[in-house]
Amino acid sequence: MYHIFCVHSFVEVYLGSFQLLPIINKAAMNIVEHVSLLYVGASLRYMPRIGIAGSSGSAISKFLKNLQTDFQSGCTSLKYHQKWRSVPLDLRV
Protein backbone atom coordinates (compact mmCIF):
# COMPACT_ATOMS: atom_id res chain seq x y z
CA MET A 1 0.00 0.00 0.00
CA TYR A 2 2.87 2.38 0.80
CA HIS A 3 4.39 1.89 -2.63
CA ILE A 4 1.16 2.71 -4.46
CA PHE A 5 0.80 5.83 -2.30
CA CYS A 6 4.42 6.79 -3.09
CA VAL A 7 3.83 6.68 -6.86
CA HIS A 8 0.46 8.43 -6.55
CA SER A 9 1.78 11.22 -4.33
CA PHE A 10 4.66 12.03 -6.69
CA VAL A 11 2.32 12.22 -9.67
CA GLU A 12 -0.20 14.31 -7.72
CA VAL A 13 2.45 16.81 -6.58
CA TYR A 14 3.79 17.36 -10.07
CA LEU A 15 0.40 17.64 -11.72
CA GLY A 16 -0.76 20.02 -9.01
CA SER A 17 2.18 22.38 -9.53
CA PHE A 18 2.00 22.23 -13.35
CA GLN A 19 5.49 20.87 -13.85
CA LEU A 20 6.35 18.83 -16.90
CA LEU A 21 8.22 15.67 -15.94
CA PRO A 22 8.46 13.44 -18.99
CA ILE A 23 11.04 11.11 -17.44
CA ILE A 24 9.00 10.49 -14.29
CA ASN A 25 5.83 10.11 -16.32
CA LYS A 26 7.50 7.51 -18.55
CA ALA A 27 8.94 5.69 -15.52
CA ALA A 28 5.54 5.60 -13.81
CA MET A 29 3.85 4.34 -16.99
CA ASN A 30 6.50 1.64 -17.37
CA ILE A 31 5.96 0.53 -13.78
CA VAL A 32 2.18 0.33 -14.23
CA GLU A 33 2.52 -1.53 -17.53
CA HIS A 34 5.08 -3.95 -16.09
CA VAL A 35 3.01 -4.66 -12.99
CA SER A 36 -0.16 -5.11 -15.07
CA LEU A 37 1.54 -7.65 -17.32
CA LEU A 38 3.01 -9.46 -14.33
CA TYR A 39 -0.38 -9.63 -12.67
CA VAL A 40 -2.12 -10.99 -15.78
CA GLY A 41 0.65 -13.51 -16.38
CA ALA A 42 0.66 -14.63 -12.77
CA SER A 43 -3.11 -14.89 -12.67
CA LEU A 44 -3.15 -17.20 -15.67
CA ARG A 45 -0.04 -19.19 -14.80
CA TYR A 46 -0.51 -19.74 -11.07
CA MET A 47 -4.19 -20.57 -10.80
CA PRO A 48 -4.48 -23.57 -8.46
CA ARG A 49 -5.87 -26.69 -10.12
CA ILE A 50 -8.97 -28.37 -8.77
CA GLY A 51 -8.02 -30.92 -6.13
CA ILE A 52 -4.50 -29.53 -5.64
CA ALA A 53 -5.37 -26.43 -3.66
CA GLY A 54 -2.36 -24.63 -2.23
CA SER A 55 0.18 -26.24 -4.54
CA SER A 56 1.01 -22.91 -6.12
CA GLY A 57 1.64 -21.07 -2.84
CA SER A 58 5.39 -20.87 -3.39
CA ALA A 59 5.02 -19.43 -6.89
CA ILE A 60 2.51 -16.82 -5.73
CA SER A 61 4.79 -15.89 -2.83
CA LYS A 62 7.70 -15.35 -5.24
CA PHE A 63 5.48 -13.28 -7.53
CA LEU A 64 4.38 -11.02 -4.65
CA LYS A 65 7.99 -10.52 -3.52
CA ASN A 66 8.95 -9.54 -7.08
CA LEU A 67 6.00 -7.16 -7.25
CA GLN A 68 7.11 -5.48 -4.02
CA THR A 69 10.66 -5.14 -5.38
CA ASP A 70 9.33 -3.52 -8.58
CA PHE A 71 7.38 -0.93 -6.60
CA GLN A 72 10.34 -0.18 -4.34
CA SER A 73 12.69 0.35 -7.29
CA GLY A 74 10.03 2.44 -9.03
CA CYS A 75 9.68 4.75 -6.03
CA THR A 76 13.46 5.06 -5.76
CA SER A 77 13.62 5.99 -9.45
CA LEU A 78 10.87 8.58 -9.03
CA LYS A 79 12.63 10.16 -6.04
CA TYR A 80 15.91 10.37 -8.01
CA HIS A 81 14.26 12.01 -11.01
CA GLN A 82 12.33 14.38 -8.76
CA LYS A 83 15.62 15.83 -7.51
CA TRP A 84 17.46 16.07 -10.83
CA ARG A 85 15.03 16.07 -13.75
CA SER A 86 12.20 18.50 -13.03
CA VAL A 87 11.38 20.91 -15.84
CA PRO A 88 8.98 23.75 -15.01
CA LEU A 89 6.20 24.31 -17.51
CA ASP A 90 5.54 27.94 -18.42
CA LEU A 91 1.86 28.26 -19.32
CA ARG A 92 2.18 31.89 -20.47
CA VAL A 93 2.03 32.26 -24.24
Tell me which residue range forms the domain holding 73: 2-46+56-82
| Tally of domains in the chain | 1
Residue 15 lies in a domain: yes
71-79: long-range contacts (C-beta < 8 A, 24 or more apart)? 71/3, 71/4, 71/6, 71/7, 71/31, 71/35, 72/3, 74/3, 74/7, 74/27, 74/28, 74/31, 75/3, 75/6, 75/7, 75/10, 77/27, 78/6, 78/7, 78/10, 78/24, 78/27, 78/28, 79/10
Residue 42 lies in a domain: yes
Residue 23 lies in a domain: yes
Give the pLDDT means over successive 10-residue stretches in the chain (93 positions): 46 46 56 58 51 56 70 63 54 58
Residue 89 lies in a domain: no
Q: Please give the pLDDT value at position 62.
A: 72
Residue 8 lies in a domain: yes
Q: Please give the pLDDT value at position 2.
A: 42
Residue 90 lies in a domain: no
